[in-house]
Amino acid sequence: MSIPTSAVTGWRHLFSPGEAGAPVLLMLHGTGGNEHEIASLAAELQPGAGVLAPRGQVQEHGMLRWFRRHGEGLFDVDDVIARATDLAVFLDAAREHYGLGNRPVIAVGFSNGANIALAAAILHPQTLDRVIAFSGMYPFGDRETSTDLSGTRLLVLNGESDPMAPLASVRTLVTALHQNGADVKQVLRPGGHGIAHADLDAARLWLEEASR
C-alpha cells in the first residue's frame, strides 16, 4: 500500500541524493541541534553518500528533541515508542518519495538522535536495520524488548564517563541487542558525552564494512 506523500512533505527535513547506488545516511541530531548541523557530519563519514536529515518534532524549553522525557535520563517510554514508529513511517515514505529503491539506509544519531535511531531499529527492523549510535543508551527504561533483530547491524560508541549516557544503560542496550539476535559492535573510549576523533574513525571503518 502506498504511503501518503504528506508523511514526507509534512515533516521538515533535508535530502541530498548523493551518488547513484551509494548508501543513504539518515542523520538524526541531538537535543538542541537541528537537521542542518547533523547533516554536515555525513560528508566526514562517507563522502558521496545520500543524506536524509529530518528534524525532531518535540520541543523542550525551545530545544528540538525526538521524544519527551521526565528528566535527565528519564524517558517518556510511551512517547519513545510512538515517535520511533513515526520515524519509521517517515523513512518508508521517504524511500518511496525519493525513489531510493533498495539503497541501504544507515541511521547516524548523536545523543537523543542515537536513542531514537536505536528505538526505531529495535521496534521496526524491517524499516531500519543499520545504526551508528554516538553517545546513545537504552531507550526503553525498565521495559524489555523481544524483537527478532537477526540481520540488524549496529555500532554503539560511548565515553566511559558519560553522565548523560551512563554505562549501566549502555550495557543494558548491548545486552538486549545481543539477546534479540543483532550484530553489535561496541566501542568504548575514555571521556564523556560527544563525538571524538576515535569515534569518527571507528564509524568510517564500520561504514566501509557495512556497505559491502
Measured distance CA(105)–CA(139) in Å, rounded: 21
Tell me how far apart the alpha carbons of residues 47 and 51 are, in angstroms, rounded to a whole number: 10
Nearest to 130 by CA among 178, 184, 83: 184
Which residues participate in catalysis according to the annotation?
111, 162, 193
Note down the domain range covering 30. Answer: 6-210
Measuring CA to CA, how many Å separate 20 from each of 34, 103, 130, 131, 210? 26, 9, 19, 21, 17
pLDDT class of 2 with cuts at 50, 70, 90: low
| Cell matching residue 183 | 550484530
Supply the pTM of this predicted model: 0.96
Name 64's bridge partners: 59
pLDDT score of 160 more than 80: yes
Q: Is residue 67 part of a domain?
A: yes
Residue 197: inside a domain: yes
Please, which residues have CB within 8 angstroms of residue 79's CB and are 6 or more apart in sequence? 58, 67, 68
Examine residue 26 and state whether it is found in any structural domain, yes or no: yes
Q: Is residue 1 part of a domain?
A: no
Residue 52 has pLDDT above 60, yes or no: yes
Q: Which amino acid would we find at residue 179?
A: Q
Percent of the chain with pLDDT strictly greater than 90: 90
CATH number at residue 136: 3.40.50.1820
Query: How confident is the prediction for the chain on average, in pLDDT?
Result: 95
Mean pLDDT of 153-175: 97
pLDDT per residue as tens digits for the range 86-141: 999 999 999 999 999 999 999 999 999 999 999 999 999 999 999 999 999 999 99
Q: How many domains does the chain have?
A: 1
Say if residue 4's pLDDT is above 90. Answer: no
